[in-house]
Amino acid sequence: MKFKKTFTVFLTVLIMTLSLSGCSKSSTTNNSQTQTEKKQVKITVMNSKGEIQTQLEKMAKAFMNDNKDITVEVIPAPAGQSPFEKVSSLYSSGNAPTLSMLDPGDIVKFKDKAADLSSEKWINDSFDRSLDSAKVDGKVIGFPFAVEGYGFIYNKELLDKAYGGNFDASAVKTQKDLEEMFKKLEASGVGSIIVSPMDWSLGGHFLPLSYSTQSKSSDDVNKFIEDLKAGKVELAQNKQFKGLMATLDIMKKHNISKSSPLSGTYENGPEALATKKAAVWFMGNWAWPQIHELDAENNSYAFLPVPISNDAADYGNSEIPVGVTKYFILDKEQNSQEQQAAAKKFLEWIVYNQTGQDYLVNKANVIPAFKNITIESQDPLAKSIKKYMSKGKTLQFMVTLPSDHWSKNGASMQKFLDNKIDVNGLAKEIQEYWKNIK
Amino acid sequence: MREESRFIDKLKTYIVYAGPTTFVFFTVIILPFLFGIYLTFTSYDGISNSHNLVGFANYIEAFKDTKFLASFLLTLKYVLYTVVFTNVIAFLFAYILTSGMKGQNFFRAGFFTPNLIGGIILGFIWQFIFSKLLVYIGNNFNIPIFSTSWLADPVRAFWTLVIVSVWQNSGYMMVIYIAGFMNVPKDLLEAANIDGANAWRRMVNVIIPMMIPSITICLFLTLQRGFMVYDVNLALTKGGPFKSTELISMYVYNQAFLSQKYGVGQAQAFVLFLVVALVSVIQVYFSKKMEVEA
Amino acid sequence: MMKKKGSITSIIKFLFLGIFFLAYMVPFIFVLINSFKSKKEILLNPMALPSKINFTNFLTAFNKMDYVHGFTNSLIITVFSVLLIVVLSSMTAYILVRKKWKFNQAIFFVMVASMIIPFQAIMIPLVRIYGSIGMLNSKWALIYMYIGFGTSLAVFMFHGFIKSIPLELEEAAMIDGAKGMQLFYLIVFPLLKPIAMTIAILDVLWIWNDFLLPSLVLIAPEQRTLPLSTFYFYGTYTADYGLSMAGLILTIIPVIIIYLILQKYIINGVLQGSIK
């Protein structure tokens, strides 16, 4: 009996849902009818910078306000899924996004599917070298979306106090200066540095400093990478590598979480800065929204380079790595001509429209890769990066390393951070990694 | 039911009862699976439009990979612990919660709750508990074992995976065991009671033999989930610290999508499938044998 | 004497369960507490009680998730998938148990074996195949796939249960003139009630919470299920914790309600079934 009753309940629910779905179906057909009347074009944008998802959605809304005939839909790549994986599964499913935001190293894999953007207006307004990793076979297939940089983020208020007056960042140029700075901070009663143990930070950002500081010339850096692959480099004997790891040793010694160096998460960084448990954090400008949220009053944050030696003149001791870390590619395989045109319009709107620029710089906290955008960012970390750029004090941001470089070498870096291996052991593991790369 | 003797009658009966299921099952699981196996013999990278046949190259590379083997051994260890703990705890819960105590519905609902939430989110919640809550407790009440995060230590991080998996799965298995306990005929138990059998003897001689089907299902499910765990691994430890807790599913996944060696990853997934199939067949074989004997 | 001993064991049992129960509930208590707090409050002290009971997170989550839409989609997908899985699998299991053909044994073996195929191994081939015939981005395709993924376990569980049903019942009904489908729906299916309810509950939970498959199949926002919409306000580096926890609670409330209703029912059903 009871079973029959539940069955009737089930049936009722079924009928209900059927009628509901019927409703929604009819409403969508109505929509599409009105759409065809106005020649509506719908484009999708795959966002792989999850932290600006809301801002991008708002940006899309503002664009749609200016362009009533275009609908822009922003879909994020799930946390834990790489942009490459998300985009490739969307391609397999026949639902390729019109614009996909990719990491620079992945662009070349989509070279058959991406439209040629070489004749777009914004090409001429983009910064020198910002299109380097977007060029395949002489054609530009990527739109440089975000410039990012990293180094030691420091809280100037705390450093001013520790130095009893005005702290001069340009005075910190060597490992000795760095350690002295840590000691002064500690003497003033605050913690000095927090070292975040995430593999993407250690393996993807910290370790590559030892590659990019090899030489000012990017050809030499590339040659160094080739030599690594060929097994021709003895990292344990390499000056830059040894120096960088010596710096890490100093950081380890003063790390506020040294009792359990691997337990931290990304969130601990802004938290430690905001609660004044630490005054320095190794991270990039993408961290500003989180720092600002917890420490809203303080705009004194800026970047310091990571010194790799005790000679102030060495390359890398007064430079920070800066580069384009995200590109948009435009699909030409599964999107119609109209959709491609609409997407190009969207990109152009971002670069040349006042509202678009405002959203990009002020709402999404992105440092644009275009000379014509002159809006002054309110974000002190972005300002700091721009300062380094204008002085030409930048290093190459190693954006086209193999896709698992950060993960595999990040694991080795974690072992080093936790004192499970010494610098020779670390050098060996990293060399081993490179030997297996084809 | 009458016995169909002619093939055409058999086929008709089969199609009427099992046709739709079989069709959907083959098109959703078997077809993609076979297609996946085919891809292991190609240079397919997950994205390009064309690919070449490469023979056994992917398999050779898969077996040359020593880290694959290490991850496999770690997974075996993980499976062993989770299967034992999950089943013992679930069985105890089910036993107590079918003995007619007060509030048993409340407890049943409570123990089942972890199953109401998806693995990714459970992992995030537990990450927060291990790295924040327990550390806070450890520091404030001087319990050294909790004073640093378990997730930062390779051995303890492994145990967090076991704990969370047992916590998540025991409620599910409990439901199956409860159904099994309910199926133990009351008259058999009464007869045992009259014969003067104590609780232990009743358990060993009456209840457990009658529970073999439930035990088979639960062992099978826990084995299978153990070998394939991914969500919790990803959200809780991400394989860290320094890849010391990267279980096999995650390893294969990273191989295919992070290192972008799609063919090798797919080949390793297929090897994983063969091993799990072997283990499961052995387990089901022995359980079924016990069932027959009981 | 006897009574005293009984009460001591029941106290021990109660304590045992109580301790475990607390351990099982701690995570949920934290989700609940933090769902009322702002992100700042959570990051600075995740353990503190909320300074004030504030429903803004819930309201924001409700609107941002497009809860009504997500709920309707999840409901349609879950109800249809589960109903079809239960009905189709029970019939399949019945024929597999009652007809001892070689072919049936083979099919059963393949189904059981398929349960150990890692989802990752068929994920890309699956979307490739269904994408190429344009079957993606629809609820109905998703339901179709859930039937495919759900049948093996359901058939496996029904199989074990049907075996324990004595054949005499069906033989008696056959003498009374029942045949074919009638026999199954009037005699056998009602007996499957306890296991059917168990399967239904387990499948409801799986499908309601599933993330990876819908994220691959459903692309348009108006098709999103609740877990997808919950996910869509998560960041890559930092989640808006308070908001997402409120969203999480909104997502699981329907499941808890369904579970509480069905749980009561399943126990009655199982009890009646075992008395028979």
* pLDDT value of position C249: 81
- Provide, as residue numbers in chain A, all residues whose Cβ is less than 8 Å from the Cβ of C203: none
* pLDDT value of position A26: 37
CA-nearest residue to B242 within chain A is A411
Q: Which residue in C46, C118, C255 is closest to B128 by CB distance?
A: C46
Assess if residue B273 is contained within a domain.
Answer: yes
| C-beta separation of A320 from A154 below 8 A | no
* pLDDT value of position B46: 66
- Rounded to the nearest 5°, which phi and psi values hold at A392? 70, 20
CA-nearest residue to A21 within chain C is C76
Which chains lie within 8 Å of chain A at 3 or more CB pairs, if any? B, C
Q: Does A3 contact C215 at a Cβ distance shorter than 8 Å?
A: no
Domain that holds residue C132: 65-232
Which CATH number covers residue B269? 1.10.3720.10
- Provide, as residue numbers in chain B, all residues whose Cβ is less than 8 Å from the Cβ of A85: 46, 257
Residue from B292, B173, B283, B169 nearest B220 by CA: B283
Residue A141 confidence (pLDDT) above 50: yes
* pLDDT value of position B2: 56
Give the model confidence (pLDDT) of C116-151 as tens digits: 777 767 877 887 788 777 777 788 888 999 999 999
Kindly tell me the sign of the dihedral angle through the C-alpha atoms of A343, A347, A352, A354.
positive
Assess if residue C34 is contained within a domain.
Answer: no
Assess if residue C56 is contained within a domain.
Answer: no
* pLDDT value of position A29: 38
Residue A15 confidence (pLDDT) above 70: no
Q: Which residue in B48, B152, B242 is closest to A263 by CB distance?
A: B152
Helix (H, G, I), strand (E, B) or coil at A367: strand
Provide the number of structural domains found in chain C: 1
Q: Which residue in A3, A95, A287 is closest to C193 by CB distance?
A: A3
Distances (CA, A) of B8 to A428, B4, C96: 68, 9, 17
* Bridge partner list, A302: A154
| C-beta separation of C121 from B269 below 8 A | yes
Assess if residue B157 is contained within a domain.
Answer: yes
Q: Which residue in A48, A79, A266 is closest to C234 by CB distance?
A: A79
Domain that holds residue B248: 64-293
Assess if residue C118 is contained within a domain.
Answer: yes
Provide the number of structural domains found in chain B: 1
Assess if residue B158 is contained within a domain.
Answer: yes
Tokens representing A418 are 């936790």
Assess if residue C38 is contained within a domain.
Answer: no
* pLDDT value of position C69: 85
Residue A80 confidence (pLDDT) above 70: no
How many whole angstroms separate alpha carbon A51 and alpha carbon A37?
36
Residues 133-172 on C with a CB inside 8 Å of B are 144-145, 147-149, 151-152, 155-157, 160, 164, 170
Assess if residue B1 is contained within a domain.
Answer: no
How many whole angstroms separate alpha carbon A81 and alpha carbon A85?
6
DSSP string, B129-157: IIIIIHHHHHHHTT-GGGSS-GGGSHHHH
Is residue A28 very low, low, confident or very high in pLDDT (cuts 50, 70, 90)?
very low
Q: Does B17 contact C183 at a Cβ distance shorter than 8 Å?
A: no
Q: Does C43 contact A267 at a Cβ distance shorter than 8 Å?
A: yes
Assess if residue B279 is contained within a domain.
Answer: yes
Query: Which domains can be identified in chain A, with CATH numbers?
Result: 40-148+323-380 (3.40.190.10), 149-322+390-435 (3.40.190.10)
How many whole angstroms separate alpha carbon B208 and alpha carbon B200?
11
Q: Determine what percent of chain A is predicted with pLDDT higher than 70.
A: 90
Q: Determine what percent of chain C is predicted with pLDDT higher than 90.
A: 8
- Provide, as residue numbers in chain A, all residues whose Cβ is less than 8 Å from the Cβ of B238: 199
Least confident window among A143-152, A226-235, C100-109: C100-109
Report, as an integer, the average pLDDT of A230-254: 92
CA-nearest residue to B149 within chain A is A263
Kindly tell me the sign of the dihedral angle through the C-alpha atoms of A167, A172, A178, A179.
negative
* pLDDT value of position B248: 81
**Interface predicted TM-score (ipTM):** 0.80
Residue C234 confidence (pLDDT) above 60: no
Mean pLDDT estimate for chain B? 81
| C-beta separation of B47 from B54 below 8 A | no
| C-beta separation of B156 from B150 below 8 A | yes
* Bridge partner list, A75: A46
- Please state whether C137 falls in left (phi above 0), alpha (psi between -120 and 50) or beta: left
Residues 65-124 on C with a CB inside 8 Å of B are 88-89, 91-92, 94-96, 98-99, 101, 103-104, 107, 110-122, 124
Residues 117-136 on C with a CB inside 8 Å of A are 123-124, 127-128, 130-132, 134, 136
Assess if residue C172 is contained within a domain.
Answer: yes
- Provide, as residue numbers in chain A, all residues whose Cβ is less than 8 Å from the Cβ of B152: 197, 260-263, 418
Assess if residue C245 is contained within a domain.
Answer: no
Which chains lie within 8 Å of chain C at 3 or more CB pairs, if any? A, B
Assess if residue C58 is contained within a domain.
Answer: no
Mean pLDDT estimate for chain C? 77
Distances (CA, A) of B210 to B191, B199, C41, C271, C274: 15, 15, 53, 16, 13
Q: Does C44 contact A20 at a Cβ distance shorter than 8 Å?
A: no
Assess if residue C50 is contained within a domain.
Answer: no
Calculate how close chain C gets to A49, using CA atoms only, in Å.
7
Calculate how close chain B gets to C153, using CA atoms only, in Å.
9
Containing H/E element for A283?
strand A280-284
* Bridge partner list, A255: A193
B249 in contact with chain C, both atoms CB, cutoff 8 A: yes
Which CATH number covers residue C181? 1.10.3720.10
